[in-house]
Amino acid sequence: MIYSPQFSSDDFELLNEEWAFRGYFGVRRIELKHRLFKGGWSAPVKREIFERGDAVAVLPYDPVADELVLIEQFRPGAMRAGDTPWMLELIAGVVEPGEGDEQVVHREAFEEAQCTLSELELIATFYPSAGACSEQIRCFIGRVEGAPQSGIFGLESENEDIKLHRLKLKAVMDLLRSNQINNGHTLIALQWLALNRDALRERWLS
């Protein structure tokens, strides 16, 4: 085995926690200690953690046409001078209590892109910024069964304004190579597909 974690969830102790802020998202203030690689325990450590819940994301792929469905929408966290805050990205949504990941994938695919999917495969589970945020993302690839060529979608009740793009895989990979994909989970999914496209097509088209 190349790597195995030295420590587990038994190797830290939560000493205190409280909500510092609760709104659309939340911030939790914690105090903890954890075991050290050199032996013993750390001194008490105080941190704030951004709480936004877990999410799922899906890259819809049509293996026959060799096309992807991506969406474009405004992202307030990307507002900075010189950059556009509109991002080309995967379909994604927050997992609410009592929901399963695949249920959320299908719901969000239809709400955000009028897209229906058949096979779903989990391709990655990751923390986008574990130093500050508790969010875990489970990322899927899904086989497109039906999707419009273009359109504007999303829920008005959630102020969503989402533009659908159906793009050839080669064109998207050109964007990836030229550093024009700047959304983290989209980068991960596209790089996975670049490595696994042939095997995936063999599974889905056999």
Q: What is the mean pLDDT of the chain?
A: 95
Question: Please, which pLDDT band fits residue 159 given cuts at 50, 70 and 90?
Answer: confident
* pLDDT of 1 above 80: no
Average pLDDT over residues 150-174: 93
Q: Which domains does the chain carry? A: 12-51 (no CATH), 55-205 (3.90.79.10)
**Tens-digit pLDDT profile for residues 168-177:** 999 999 999 9
Eight-state DSSP code of residue 175:
H
pLDDT digit string, tens, across residues 5-41 = 999 999 999 999 999 999 989 999 999 999 999 999 9
Binning pLDDT at 50, 70 and 90, where does residue 148 land?
A: confident
**pLDDT on residue 146:** 87
Can you give the pLDDT at residue 82?
82
Q: Which two tokens stand for residue 116?
A: 């229906």
* Better-predicted residue by pLDDT, 148 or 32: 32
Closest CA to 57 of 125, 118, 116, 114: 125
> What is the model's pLDDT at position 94?
94
205 confidence band (pLDDT: 50, 70, 90): very high
What confidence score (pLDDT) does residue 195 get? 97
Which positions are annotated as active-site residues? 158
Pairwise pLDDT comparison (91 vs 206), residue with the higher score: 91
CB burial class (10 A; 0-12, 13-18, 19+) of residue 58? buried
Tell me how many degrees the CA angle 141-145-195 measures, rounded to the nearest 5.
30
Distance CA(166)–CA(200), nearest Å, equals 19
Token pair belonging to 65? 């046409």
Output the six-digit token pair for 152.
Answer: 């504007």
Say yes or no to pLDDT of 78 above 80.
Answer: yes
pLDDT at 121: 97
Longest dimension (CA), the chain: 59
Q: 29: which 2 tokens?
A: 């203030």
